[in-house]
Amino acid sequence: MKGSLILANGEKFTGQWQGKPKDHIGEVIYFTGMGRFQEFITDPANHGKIVISTFPGILNSDLDHAKFESDEIQIGGLITQQDASMTINEKGLKILDLFYDQNIPILTEMDTRALIKRIKKEGEMPALLSSKHTVNRLSGQMEDVHHDFGTEFINTNGKKHIVVINFGYKKSLMQTLSDSGNKVTVVSSIIDLNLMNSLKPDGLIFSGGPGNPSQWQKFFPVYKMLAMKYPTIGFGLGHQILALAFGANVEKLPTGHRNFKEAVIHTSSNKVFLSSQNHGYTVDGKDLNEIGFRISFKNVHDGTVEGLIHEHYPVATYQFHPEQANNHINELIFKDFFTTVYDSKGASVYA
């Protein structure tokens, strides 16, 4: 069966539809990786996105549920050059089967090179993925990603109590925190201050997640108040939200950073690290000192802000994400955070 991808600029690309008939509207992005595909498609930051894969054999990727960043596929659709009939998996499992089970469409035998050229020229944009290949225009709205997550108790005992504000956390973050020996609780990004006060956190983590950080604007005063009160760290979307809450500006990138080997430089040591990133927005680096921030990491390739430290409050944020495996950048991030948490000695007010 034929299917189509219709870009917001009106261009239409046709391929072979794999899956049940449906329409899906989402932002179209691309993934250049030859590995970690299972981590990428299950990353909550990709919720609803239509992903163009540049690697021609991506449907042959291995499947290991232990490496999934969430319990299900998060992307809204996949575009690949690969012929679906050529997929092979030595364990007898197929990416196609996983997509079929979760009703996520795939368009195969697509001209991915032409698509990437459009995205690089015009930027990431909304698109319609449709099994009705006669559709000739983009209509409707992208799915809202402003979720109200409930409370989860990950570790009920530990030395200190770390509370994660959940915008769409990755399992690798929970694994790192579970291994830290601390009590861990996850709460909704729609903050209940009574609940937060009853939890008596020793430190806060603003998780990563999908979407435009300005969607949470009405909560910025509360987020800022909490970050001024407790040792706080933010990743990905959480980094952007905290920056906005303190008065910074955030801009849309023409094409996002979506790589597990994105080079960043630590400004105080001039050491370069390879980081895991998946985002389409960036914090504007201008006038950050006026709101008390200094830049701790920059992107090696385009100079964009990759990390911030507040000069007056125990707040550190990172555009990149901790990895599942231990590495030097993980050690740097969490050593500083847990040192701050333990040095607070139970005091929570820093204002």
Is 152-343 in the same CATH topology as 2-130? no
- Please give the pLDDT value at position 85: 77
CB 297 within 8 A of CB 266: yes
The string of pLDDT tens digits covering residues 126-137 is: 999 998 755 555
Closest CA to 37 of 54, 24, 18: 54
Per DSSP, the residues of 34-82 read SS-HHHHHT-GGGTT-EEEE-STTGGG----GGG-SSSS---SEEE-SS
> For residue 36, what pLDDT band results from cuts at 50, 70 and 90?
confident
Where are the domains positioned within the chain? 2-130, 152-343
- d(CA 125, CA 269) in angstroms, rounded, equals 37
CA distances from 251 to 155, 246, 305 (A): 36, 15, 11
What is the residue-averaged pLDDT of the chain? 88
| Model confidence pTM above 0.75 | yes
The string of pLDDT tens digits covering residues 198-208 is: 999 999 999 99
152-343: CATH number: 3.40.50.880
Instruction: Look up residue 183 and give its two tokens.
Output: 């009590």
- d(CA 327, CA 321) in angstroms, rounded, equals 12
> For residue 64, what pLDDT band results from cuts at 50, 70 and 90?
confident
The string of pLDDT tens digits covering residues 230-288 is: 999 999 999 999 999 999 999 999 999 988 888 999 999 999 999 989 999 999 999 99
- Please give the pLDDT value at position 347: 46
The string of pLDDT tens digits covering residues 130-184 is: 987 555 555 555 555 556 677 888 888 998 999 999 999 999 899 889 888 899 9
CB 310 within 8 A of CB 288: no
Closest CA to 310 of 237, 228, 225, 212: 228
What average pLDDT score do residues 214-236 get?
95
- d(CA 308, CA 268) in angstroms, rounded, equals 12
What average pLDDT score do residues 90-116 get?
87
Query: Nearest-5° angle of CA 307, CA 327, CA 230?
Result: 45
CB 105 within 8 A of CB 73: no
Q: Which of residues 346 and 207 earns the better pLDDT score? A: 207
Q: 106-119: string of b/e by CB count within 10 Å (b at 16+)? A: bbbebebeebbebb
Element (H, E) at 228: helix 220-229
- Please give the pLDDT value at position 67: 87
| Architecture (CATH level 2) of domain 2-130 | 3-Layer(bba) Sandwich (3.50)
Helix (H, G, I), strand (E, B) or coil at 280: strand
Helix (H, G, I), strand (E, B) or coil at 238: helix
Per DSSP, the residues of 311-331 read SSSSEEEESSB--SS--HHHH
Report CA dihedral (317, 68, 95, 105) to the nearest 10 degrees: -50
- Please give the pLDDT value at position 349: 40
